[in-house]
Amino acid sequence: MPDLSRRVLWLALLVAALAALLLRLPIRSRLLEPRAAMDPDSEVEFEMQGVMRMRLRPLYLPPGLEPGKRLPVVVFFHGGAFMVHTAASPLYHIYAASLAAAVPALVVSVDYRLAPEHRLPAAYDDAFAALKAVVAACRADGAGAEAEPWLAAHGDASRVVLAGDRAGANMAHNAAIRLRKEPIDGYGDTVSGIVLLHPYFWGKEPLGGEPTDPGYRAIFDPTWEFICGGKFGLDHPYINPMAAPEEWRQLGCRRVLVTTAEQCWFVERARAYAEEIKKCGWDGELEFYETKGEGHVFFLPKHGSDNAVKELAIVTDFVRRCCD
């Protein structure tokens, strides 16, 4: 078999294995309150003339929402290695609904284009477009009322937090970097905070206690090449923030929360992010939380466990403090 064919087959098998691993997570049939606003009239539509049209859904509302009351808005990007899951995946439905109720806040769970049909930077472009659409919908002048009446009536554009897990955490980080470079008209270049849950960062060289075994690294190195089509190297700032400290210090937010777990695949990267962000010159508040004895994004399949409840409480408290 030619080398190229072998490589394509190997990558296909790798993607299938990752998808199987992620999709084997247990699913609850009972959906949590508050329910998402799922009717077409409550979806946020954003159009880039001649380029793309996207919808942001679902939108999660806290229970007992009072008329006229404005709340913080969490723009949430789901994980899945930039290849699997959607905003409607049951695991993410449960998490977003729980977060909306706990803060309370409006949570917009964002759908974005996935690899391999849409290689990076498509997901990054969608994340930034989603942020712009949410801000527009929340504006008090009613500009977004037609697109999303719930955000227009209750969303506070001055209290926006970007959040995500795994690849979604990577997207939240990169959206905040881009915001500083491309301020939103009438909004500015800074969100209230970002929440990075077990973030997917990587690099060419092993870091800290990461395994140096070539076989182990061969699981993750080709994955990044696959999802970006070889366009960005392993030390590109998209995947390795520490490779560009001059860019990192321009992070467009006032506060950052990084969570991880002792047995997370990317735990060393999360620890390094927390340790190095201040050294790069970023002037903001950093909070770091690590759960002992748990694995990568354990809080999704074990959402009712003691450790998952504790992690949600950390996130909830952080969002509240960002938006005080």
At 304-315, the pLDDT tens digits run 999 999 999 999
The alpha carbons of the chain give a radius of gyration, in whole angstroms, of 19
User: Would you say residue 206 has pLDDT above 70?
Assistant: yes
pTM of the model: 0.84
**Residue labelled with tokens 């990084």:** 258
What pLDDT, on a 0 to 100 scale, did the predictor assign at position 58? 83
- 197 membership: H or E segment, kind and range: strand 193-197
Chain segment 53-97, per-residue pLDDT in tens: 344 558 999 999 999 899 999 999 999 999 999 998 999 999 999
Task: Considering only residues 212 and 50, tell me which one the structure prediction assigns the higher pLDDT.
Answer: 212
What gap in Å lies between CA 164 and CA 89, rounded to an integer? 14
User: Would you say residue 211 has pLDDT above 70?
Assistant: yes
Instruction: For the beta carbon of residue 314, count every other beta carbon within 10 angstroms.
Output: 16
What gap in Å lies between CA 201 and CA 258, rounded to an integer? 12
- CB–CB of 134/160 below 8 Å? yes
Phi/psi of residue 254, nearest 5 degrees: -95, -25
CATH class of 38-322: alpha beta
What gap in Å lies between CA 103 and CA 62, rounded to an integer? 8
Q: Tokens in use for 92?
A: 């993410």
Q: Which of 161, 165, 194, 133 is nearest to 261 (CA)?
A: 165
Segment 213-222 shows an average pLDDT of 90
CA 13 to chain centre: 26
- Determine the residue type at 85: H
Per-chain mean pLDDT for the chain: 85
CA distances from 106 to 96, 109, 121, 286 (A): 9, 10, 27, 23
The residues facing 258 across adjacent strands are 196, 288
Phi/psi of residue 98, nearest 5 degrees: -65, -40
Chain segment 100-140, per-residue pLDDT in tens: 999 999 999 999 999 999 999 999 999 999 999 999 999 85
Q: Tokens in use for 129?
A: 């477009």
What pLDDT, on a 0 to 100 scale, did the predictor assign at position 146? 56
User: Would you say residue 13 has pLDDT above 70?
Assistant: no
Least confident segment among 20-29, 264-273, 298-307: 20-29
What pLDDT, on a 0 to 100 scale, did the predictor assign at position 147? 66
- CB–CB of 233/202 below 8 Å? no
* pLDDT band, residue 10 (cuts 50/70/90): very low
The domain ranges of the chain are: 38-322
Q: Tokens in use for 177?
A: 């970097």
- CB–CB of 133/25 below 8 Å? no
